[in-house]
Structure formats: structure tokens, C-alpha cells
Amino acid sequence: MTRLALMIACGLLVSGCATAVRGTTEEVTVVVDPDDAQITTTVGHTCSGNPCSVRVSRKDDFTVTAKKEGYKPKSVHVVSDVSGKGAAGAAGNILLGGVVGLGVDAISGATLDHKPNPVLIELEPEDPSNKATPPGNLDEYRKQIEEEQQKIAKQQANRAGT
């Protein structure tokens, strides 16, 4: 029994809580309007679906570029930053993983999230007077995101109140 407890303790010391719970990569969603634009990133991803998702190391900052004939190309820089969830996972190291676990989380990037996520890109027409190339508009998508965030906040508030 003592050997089992020692093995469990060693396992906890060599792995970071955030690394184990959140992983070292993150799915970043890209939404572009008009929706059939070509999407590329500086970390080598490409896609043409909309929305598209790319799996990126949590530590990597990168740029997303959307291009479409008749529109000006547009780029958005995405940065990795400490998130609330990542910080909570790292805090779990104080109880379980110790200094080694904190180090693992810091090196792996597990405490980081990409911002913005989702990446929203509205393309502008090269010729604004051309009715065949209307400007991109993601207002409806933004409204959906806001409603979802409000729903989550309300659920969290309800849980905290119980």
C-alpha cells in the first residue's frame, strides 16, 4: 500500500494540474464574412470553411489572414495570455503538484488561452460602390456570442448562489 501511495505522489509531482486538465493545445475558431474567403495563419494552417477551427499550441502567438477576390485582405493578431481557467489549474499545483507542477504548466503553456477566440474578420470591398461585393458583417454572430456569454454567466451566478 505504501508503494502505491508513493507512485501516486510521484505522478502528481511530475505533472502540472493545468497541463493534465487543459492540455497544451487549443482550438481557435475563425469566422469570416463573406464566408468563402481563404484563411491562412502564420503557424501554417489554412482553411476555407466558415467557421474554421485550427488547433494551435497554447504558447504560440500568430496572425490570421483572410483573403477573397474583390476584397482587401485583413489580418488579426492572436496572442496567448494567462486565462482564468489556466490560473485555476496552476493554483491546483499548490495543493497537488508543488513547484515541479507549476514549472510543467509554465513550460507547457497550459495556463494560457488565445485572445481573441473566436477570431472575427469582416472583409472590406476593394470597390465599396460594387454591389457584388458587400462589406462583411458579423453583427448577428457577435449577438449570438454575447447571448451565449450571458447564459453562461447566469448559470455560474445560479451555481454560486446555491
Report yes or no on 158 lying in a domain.
no
Tell me, yes or no, whether 156 lies in a domain: no
Note whether residue 157 is domain-resident: no
Q: For residue 162, is it within any domain? A: no
**Residue 120 falls inside a structural domain:** yes
pLDDT in tens, 61-85: 999 999 999 999 999 999 998 875 5
Would the pLDDT of 100 be above 60? no
How many angstroms separate the CA atoms of 119 and 134, rounded? 20
Would strands 52-57 and 62-67 be described as parallel, antiparallel, or unpaired? unpaired
Question: What pLDDT, on the 0 to 100 scale, is given for residue 2?
Answer: 55
CA distance linking residue 78 with residue 97, whole number of Å:
30
Q: Assess if residue 78 is contained within a domain.
A: yes
Number of domains in the chain: 1
Alpha-carbon distance of 80 to 113, in angstroms, equals 5
Q: Can you give the residue range of the structural domain that contains 132? A: 2-151
Would you say residue 80 lies in a domain? yes
The per-residue pLDDT for range 16-36, each reduced to its tens digit, is 454 455 678 999 999 999 988
How many residues are present in the chain? 162
Please report whether residue 159 resides in a domain. Answer: no
The predicted model gives 98-108 an average pLDDT of 50
Angle between helix 84-95 and 98-108 (nearest 10): 160
